[in-house]
Structure 1
Amino acid sequence: MQSLNDDALLLYQSLIVKDGTSGYAFRGLVRAYKGMGRLGDAESWLESYLAGNPDSSPALYASGYIFYLKEDMKRAEELFNKALALDANNALALNNLSAVLLNRKLYAQAVNLVHKAIRVNPKEPMFFSNLETIYKRMGDPDLIVTDYNFYLKEDGDPDLIRGYGMAVGRSMRQSSFRLYNEGHLDQAILKWVEIERIYKEIDHKAGLVPVYFSLGLLHEEKDDRQNAQKYFNKVLMLNPLHIQAKERLDDLG
Structure 2
Amino acid sequence: MACIDELAGRTALVTGSAQGLGAAVAQALHNAGARVLAWDVDEERNHATATRIDPGGVRVVPVCVDLADLDAVDRAYRWGRERFGPVDILVNNAARALPKLLWETTPAEWDQVFEVNVRAAFFLTRTVAVDMRAGGWGRVVNMASLAGQMARPTGAAYGASKAALIALTRVFAAELAPYGVTVNTIAPAMVDTPMVREIGKEAWAGLTAQVPVGRIAAPEEVARLAVHLAGPDAGFITGATYDINGGALMR
TM value normalised by structure 1: 0.29
**Bigger helix fraction:** 1
TM value normalised by structure 2: 0.30
